[in-house]
Structure 1
Amino acid sequence: MEKMNKERSLVICAALLAAALVVCSLILANPLEHYATNKSAITVTGSAKKQLTSDLAVWRGSFYQETVNLQDAYTNLKNDLVKVKSYLVKQGIPEDQIVVSSISTMPQYVYNANGSSTGQIASYRLTQNIEIKSNDVQKIAAIARSATELIEQDVIFDSQPPEYFYTKLNNLKVDMLAEATKDAKQRAEKMAASTGSKIGALRSAKMGVFQITPVNSNEISDYGMNDTSSIEKEITAVVNVEFGIE
């Protein structure tokens, strides 16, 4: 009789344990299912490209005179500045757009056979720089190429490559990000549709770096690029977006 009571007790305990497990499963199932649904998401990268033309050019050049006598070097450099300004004005640059730097003076020393300076001054080199900023980028490009003609006037002139900028870049970036986000949404919709799902609300968006490169260039940088060497440029905006899945 005692043996039968023990067996009956074990059966009852087993039944109660099984029932408890079933109840727990039912209680936990719905929250877990809801959690999994909320955490289902898709992350995509969207991009947008736009070609633009620079609307500002900055060009710099320099010229120098070197003579034994400092006063002669200064006089000669002053005459060179008159020639440089006259040349640029004839090329269509208003004189008030020509920014002239102060004169830089650098003594040139005599060196001995061992290559060491003797401390004796051999001559004086005086250098002056000019800078022009203009919205007529094509004119600046042409002048930068032809400015070495000043050499024919005995001006030792060094023309630097112009820098080209797009001044409305900040406003353009806002539009580009909107286009990149739209592209990301379209990509997400296609990916979700391929599995019989559809995208839900936007969960997060992270802006990538902007790449401003010459047209048809494949150069990129993790920190972004800002090309100033070309008149015609291409800007690329990238955004990483996460959408919920329904």
Structure 2
Amino acid sequence: MLKNNFNVIIISVAVVISAYLFSNAFQNRNKNNDNISVTGLGKKDFVSDLIVWSGSFSKKSATLKEAYAALDADREKIKSYLSSKGIAPNEMVFSAVNFNKDFQTIFNENGTTKQQFFTGFTLTQSVIIQSKEVNKIEEISRQSSELINSGVEFYLNPPEYYYTKLAELKIKMIAEATKDASIRAKSIAKNADANLGNLKKSDMGVFQITGQNSSEDFSYGGSFNTQSKNKTANITVKLVYQVN
């Protein structure tokens, strides 16, 4: 009989403790759910301060020596032209020369290869101009047909635009986005007749750079526009506050 009463007491105590723990966990769960989650935006328009412009030129000849001589002549024409436009020698970077052996293939009537003839060597070289004088290089790139008219087979790439103070800009935008999120959280708490508690969590979103007034889509991994001189940077910051 005593043993049965003892078992009943143990069971009763266990039930009371379990009820207490469940109630406490339920209260804490509700407490943890009393949060405000807000997202703030940092946005900034800016103008690129670095331009990168590149092009390539090539020559073909029956012998390697003749091809090199012709390519050297074109390289000097390009250097002279760019120098006449005010581009300093240290702003021109010429790549190593790339060469290919060219063959002409003759096919049989059934489409199989019949014979290959060696037709010569094609040599190609590229030049990259990097400058902080964005407007000047931009204008030269538009006038480059003058170089082509002089007999140089110059294949141009569109200019690329960059910003050298991107790290500083990003820090300022994070601060702006954080401030924006904080203002939103305070406004929500005030309108809900609640008190904003401690900051529990903060997450930074993806840094995006797009062309100004463009229809570019944001990328999951972050977009980085290099085609537009005038750009817009965007960043988001998500804050989670406790509400009292």
**Deviation per residue, 1:165-197 (Å, 9 max, x gap):** 111111221111111011111111222222111
Larger Cα-atom Rg: 1
CA distance in 2, matches of 1:110, 1:25: 88
Contact 1:213–1:234 (8 Å) recurs in 2: yes
Matches of 2:24 and 2:149, distance apart in 1 = 88
Aligned pair partner of 1:124 in 118, 121, 126? 121
Whether 1:51 aligns to 2:49 is: no
1:230 and 2:224 matched: no
Structure 2: distance between partners of 1:124 and 1:28 = 83
Work out whether 1:139 is the aligned partner of 2:136.
yes
In the TM superposition, residue 150 of structure 1 has moved relative to its aligned partner by: 1.1
Structure 2 length-normalised TM = 0.84
In structure 2, runs of 5+ residues without a counterpart are: 1-11
Q: Who is 2:181 aligned against?
A: 184
Give the letter aligned to residue 89 of structure 1: S
The total of aligned residue pairs comes to: 226
Residue in structure 2 matched with residue 103 of structure 1 by the alignment: 97
Q: How does 1:1-246 map to 2 (within 5 A)?
A: 36-37=30-31, 39-113=33-107, 114=111, 116=113, 118-218=115-215, 219-246=217-244
CA deviation after TM superposition for structure 1 residue 202, in Å? 1.0
Could you tell me how far 1:120 is from its partner in structure 2? 2.5
Do the aligned partners of 2:106 and 2:116 also contact (CA within 8 Å) in 1?
no
Deviation at 1:27, TM superposition (A): 10
Corresponding residue SS for 1:234: strand
CA distance 1:35–1:72, shift in 2 (3 Å): closer
Identity of aligned residues (%): 37
Alpha-carbon spacing, 1:51–1:117, altered in 2? closer, same or farther (3 Å)? farther
Shift of 1:239: 1.0
Deviation for aligned residue 1:241: 0.9
Output the CA distance in 2 between the equivalents of 1:83 and 1:97.
16
Distance in 1 (CA, whole Å) between partners of 2:153 and 2:168 is: 42
CA RMSD in angstroms, aligned pairs only? 2.5
Q: Tell me: CA distance 1:40–1:164, structure 2 relative to 1, closer, same or farther (3 Å).
A: same
